[in-house]
Chains A and B, each alone.
With several copies, the nearest count.
Chain A
Amino acid sequence: MNYIPVNEQDRKEMLSRIGVNSIEELLSLQIPEYLRAKKLNLSEGLSEQDLLALFKKYAGKNKSNLVCFRGAGVYDHFVPSLVEEIVGRSEFSTAYTPYQAEASQGTLQAVFEYQSMICELTGLDCANASMYDGATSVAEAVLLAVRTSRKNKIIISSALNPEYLAVVETYTKNLDIEIVKIETDEKTGALNKNVLESKMSDDIGAVVVQSPNFFGVVEDMQALSETAKTKAALFVTVVNPVSLGILKTPCEYNADIAVGEGQVFGNQMYLGGLTFGFLAVKKALEWKIPGRVVGQTVDKNGKRGFVLTLQSREQHIRREKATSNICTNSALNAFAGCVYMSCLGSSGIKELAETNISKARYAFNAIKKLDGFEPLFSDSFFFNEFIFKTAKNIKKIEKALLKENILGPLNLGAFNKKYKNSLMFAVTEKRTKQEIDKLTDILNRA
């Protein structure tokens, strides 16, 4: 099976214009025989119907559509139909990066609108078109901070999502950058301003803090930012955009760079494979940021239009001196985020955040009442994710929940022995009261 719209007759005519007898001849003119490959050892092609059947079979091997109380970086939020409808339009999905601006005003204006909404949400001045995901956006933020501060020592909260931390470590490993980790308080799960203060010195380029942090705890960003600024370090925040409907904005606590994972805005979970990283900065850093940026301009007739801009930062122009090697990014996922944000609007995003927090608190309070469950950080302020220690058998709990099609909390012990017996719950707006009650009930009986 193939998608080739050329038949034998066409092929003959084409070969004859070229002046060869066969495609084989065309190839042999260019490729020495001894370099040629043998027949590919792959299964035979499939008809559309058989292909669907094969992938239905694969699909059937998953236990899917679970009621999800698991987060840790990827969250089960509701995706409005509008997002799928728009993002699925082939004019968006089958276009390339908008090199020809005049023929790409759809994509370009959408990116401009996306950038605008990210700026609104974070309060910062300039957002790029997207990075691959939250993890790489943190890594790029670190590089940006090093570039800007001209200091190669970066403090990072150890409560940064461990996947992100791993990526930052990979990205920086060959670049003579020193990562200094600071630990969170054992009691609160939050960073302690004094601890940060004790690590600050003039050679620190930036302080990177995630809030809500990996444990779900909201940090006192104001205090941390002020502490970072005492030594003129940049303050880099890693934020869950859903939380920005209600939590203090990066701008409000004077962050220089805000990054994060956008999957929560209009993208399904897909094994964590439908992601985009957002990256926003203060005006001063505008010309230093990585990735594509869209700007407004006018056409010959003075009509408003949009183009890729600040391009001299980029690899296709500056090559090894570019601010990043990124080329293809996560445009369509960021576009889903764009449609999602517009679909909710300011008031909807606020309600979204409020609903998340309300449901998470409802679940937290219900679980707290159960025998055998104790909050790991009892007095901390969390957003939509929290941790309980339990004396119960975690494997058994997971099984009991799965039997009822519930993907229960994450066993933090699997990440870090320090957190043995700790379960991390994520509760989004998508979880109904009924589902939460059922979870609580099963936990109770387990």
Chain B
Amino acid sequence: MNKLLNEIKSNRNENRIVKCDVPYDISIDDKYKRQKNHNIPNLSESTLLRHFTNLSRRNYSLSTTFYPLGSCTMKYNPLVNEKIAKFEEFSSIHPYQPEDTIQGTLEVMYELERGLCEVSGMDYFTLQPAAGAHGEYTGLLIIAEYFKNKKEKRKKIIVPDSAHGTNPASAALAGFEIISLKSDENGIVSPENLKEILNKDVACMMLTVPNTLGVFEKKISEISEILHKNGSLLYYDGANLNAVMGIVKPADIGFDVMHINLHKTFSTPHGGGGPGAGPVGVKAFLKDFLPIPVIIKENDKFKVSSGGKKKSIGKMKAFFGNFPVLLKACAYIKSLGGAGLKEASEQAVLNANYVLSSLKDKVSIPAGNVCMHEFVLSSKGHLGEGVKTLDVAKRLLDYGYYAPTIYFPLIVEEAMMIEPTETESKQVLDEFIDVLSKIIEESKINPEVLRNAPVNTYVSRLNEVEAARKPKLHW
């Protein structure tokens, strides 16, 4: 049953998909012609359905289990949004259709933009970026362009050491040098530390609020003031926006540019690694630098505008962005409404604090006893002999849970980052708390069990070192 596609033999005779109803006309000059045949098996539909259906059963997923993966906001992905995204009226649209034939599609994008502006407080959004990292990159290019336009040479970006890896990576890609800023044990940035490293080279600082430890940056106003006084900008990594919808607007508290992960806060499913969408919002003074095209509304008609945007950073992706993701996010906003979005964030905070309160006596919580929508615990000193956070994570799989994010943020030793999200019930959280507590006990009584975990999964612990040492990357 455990076959790779190329090990299956179910040779069909004919192709049911493709049929040619014009005369075959395929003479090709040899210099253009493929010589070697590829080796992709010709399997029947029945065989493939079984193959892939069985593969699906080897995945844990949000639809089968609690998925407390910190920083990833694995909240429920409403089915009705999937249904809407399948409407042929949306799926069959070519990107170069005339504007007046795609008014519905454009309206959806326009409405989403307006919704994101309201939630974030930003003045404009581009929907083009394909993911969070792509959004960061877009935002930083906008910032670079802004300074270029002001003829200021600012080549540096401050990134706290608690930041997600994409923050420095995006900054580098945008041509910046990174200044790493040490945060305190709560991941909090101290204005004093900031002042120390700040200078006229600094284009901006990237921040996540709440930060990757789930802590709200209380001194954000001070930080913003310091940066803006220095002529620097403040970038908001929106990965944690699920903590603050309707509670705090990034633009209000000093941020100039931000991205939003629609595949997190706005509930579009993650697809096992994408596609997501990372719309970027800016304050009005940065509007001209947004990627093209932009969608505008004129006399109740929606238009695609690419021209006259001399200052734009250009294009980040072909065409308009990951439209089905945008569509689902728009549907999400419309279905929850303003009150629903706020309730979502509030419940996310409540759920995280409930789990934190229930675990705080069993592990260390470096950032203290309250949190926003997620928190980071350290298992150091709380586990049995030789047992690591990794082992706890694997053992959780045995109990039917996906594991929390581990070893991130880097500033917490043996970190485990738990984000329950608002769409989990008290019963689910209670059972998870019990299991995690039980595993911690187990680690002391029977550490081997953890080190040998998982045993209930389709495969037992996999050898990652060997995989990288002798890479086997295709069949």
Let me know if B272 and A98 touch, CB within 8 A: yes
Number of A-B residue pairs having CB atoms within 8 Å of each other in the complex: 739
Given A18-B353, A316-B164: 17 more A-B contacts, CB < 8 Å? A17-B357, A37-B121, A65-B92, A92-B61, A104-B272, A127-B473, A133-B317, A248-B34, A261-B318, A271-B95, A316-B165, A325-B173, A326-B133, A345-B40, A349-B40, A354-B20, A429-B20
Q: Which of A54, A329, A348 contacts B42 (CB 8 A)?
A: A348
The answer to the question of B134 belonging to the interface, with a C-beta cut-off of 8 Å to chain A, is yes
**Can you list, as one digit per residue, whether each of A62-74 has a CB less than 8 Å from chain B (1) or not (0)?**
1111101010111
Let me know if B32 and A218 touch, CB within 8 A: yes
Let me know if B89 and A96 touch, CB within 8 A: no
The answer to the question of B25 belonging to the interface, with a C-beta cut-off of 8 Å to chain A, is yes
Stretch at the interface among A78-86, A148-156, A438-446: A78-86
Q: Which residues from chain A contact B305 at a C-beta distance below 8 Å?
A: none
Q: Which residues from chain A contact B473 at a C-beta distance below 8 Å?
A: 112, 115, 119, 125-127, 286, 293-296, 309
Q: Which of A14, A104, A218, A293 contacts B350 (CB 8 A)?
A: A14
Let me know if B370 and A357 touch, CB within 8 A: no
Smallest beta-carbon distance B23→chain A, Å: 7
Chain B interface residue number, banded: 35 or more
The answer to the question of A342 belonging to the interface, with a C-beta cut-off of 8 Å to chain B, is yes
Task: Kindly state the separation between the CA atoms of A93 and B173 in the bound complex, as whole angstroms.
Answer: 29
Task: Kindly state the separation between the CA atoms of A327 and B344 in the bound complex, as whole angstroms.
Answer: 26
With A2-B336, A247-B34 as given contacts, are A35 and B221 in contact (CB-CB < 8 Å)? yes
Q: Which of B4, B22, B102, B347 contacts A62 (CB 8 A)?
A: B102
The answer to the question of B44 belonging to the interface, with a C-beta cut-off of 8 Å to chain A, is yes
Task: Kindly state the separation between the CA atoms of A102 and B390 in the bound complex, as whole angstroms.
Answer: 12
The answer to the question of A254 belonging to the interface, with a C-beta cut-off of 8 Å to chain B, is no
Stretch at the interface among A21-29, A179-187, A200-208, A369-377: A21-29
Residues of chain A from 27 to 74 with CB closer than 8 A to chain B in the complex: 27, 29-32, 34-37, 39-52, 54-66, 68, 70, 72-74
The answer to the question of B21 belonging to the interface, with a C-beta cut-off of 8 Å to chain A, is yes
The answer to the question of A106 belonging to the interface, with a C-beta cut-off of 8 Å to chain B, is yes
Residues of chain B from 33 to 82 with CB closer than 8 A to chain A in the complex: 33-49, 51-53, 55-64, 67, 69, 72, 74-80, 82
| Of B171, B173, B372, B426, most A-chain CB atoms within 10 Å | B173
Let me know if B397 and A62 touch, CB within 8 A: no
Output the nearest chain A residue to B471 by Cβ-Cβ distance: A295
With A319-B169, A339-B48 as given contacts, are A62 and B472 in contact (CB-CB < 8 Å)? no
Q: Could you write out 18 A-B pairs with CB less than 8 Å apart?
A: A7-B11, A31-B247, A60-B89, A76-B94, A82-B45, A89-B52, A104-B59, A105-B58, A163-B315, A173-B314, A269-B92, A272-B95, A272-B318, A318-B169, A339-B52, A345-B42, A348-B42, A429-B20
Q: Which of A17, A43, A167, A357 contacts B317 (CB 8 A)?
A: A167
Let me know if B130 and A133 touch, CB within 8 A: yes
Residues of chain B from 91 to 108 with CB closer than 8 A to chain A in the complex: 91-98, 100-105, 107-108
Let me know if A1 and B16 touch, CB within 8 A: yes
Output the nearest chain B residue to A55 by Cβ-Cβ distance: B84
Interface size for A (C-beta < 8 A) is 213
The answer to the question of B432 belonging to the interface, with a C-beta cut-off of 8 Å to chain A, is no
Let me know if A357 and B26 touch, CB within 8 A: yes
**Can you list, as one digit per residue, whether each of A310-344 has a CB less than 8 Å from chain B (1) or not (0)?**
11101111111110111111111101000101111
Task: Kindly state the separation between the CA atoms of A120 and B343 in the bound complex, as whole angstroms.
Answer: 32
Let me know if A62 and B89 touch, CB within 8 A: yes
Task: Kindly state the separation between the CA atoms of A72 and B48 in the bound complex, as whole angstroms.
Answer: 31
Let me know if B335 and A66 touch, CB within 8 A: no
Q: Which residues from chain B contact A121 at a C-beta distance below 8 Å?
A: 38, 40
**Can you list, as one digit per residue, whether each of A127-159 has a CB less than 8 Å from chain B (1) or not (0)?**
101101111100000010000000000000000
Smallest beta-carbon distance B128→chain A, Å: 10
Let me know if A1 and B91 touch, CB within 8 A: no
Let me know if A355 and B20 touch, CB within 8 A: yes
Task: Kindly state the separation between the CA atoms of A159 and B247 in the bound complex, as whole angstroms.
Answer: 50
The answer to the question of A402 belonging to the interface, with a C-beta cut-off of 8 Å to chain B, is yes
The answer to the question of B175 belonging to the interface, with a C-beta cut-off of 8 Å to chain A, is yes
Q: Which residues from chain B contact A97 at a C-beta distance below 8 Å?
A: 270, 272-274
Let me know if B313 and A170 touch, CB within 8 A: yes
With A43-B337, A65-B92, A342-B48 as given contacts, are A1 and B314 in contact (CB-CB < 8 Å)? no
The answer to the question of B299 belonging to the interface, with a C-beta cut-off of 8 Å to chain A, is no
Q: Which of B44, B267, B324 contacts A273 (CB 8 A)?
A: B324
The answer to the question of A209 belonging to the interface, with a C-beta cut-off of 8 Å to chain B, is no
Q: Which residues from chain B contact A320 at a C-beta distance below 8 Å?
A: 168-169, 171-172, 178
Q: Which residues from chain B contact A295 at a C-beta distance below 8 Å?
A: 467-468, 471-473
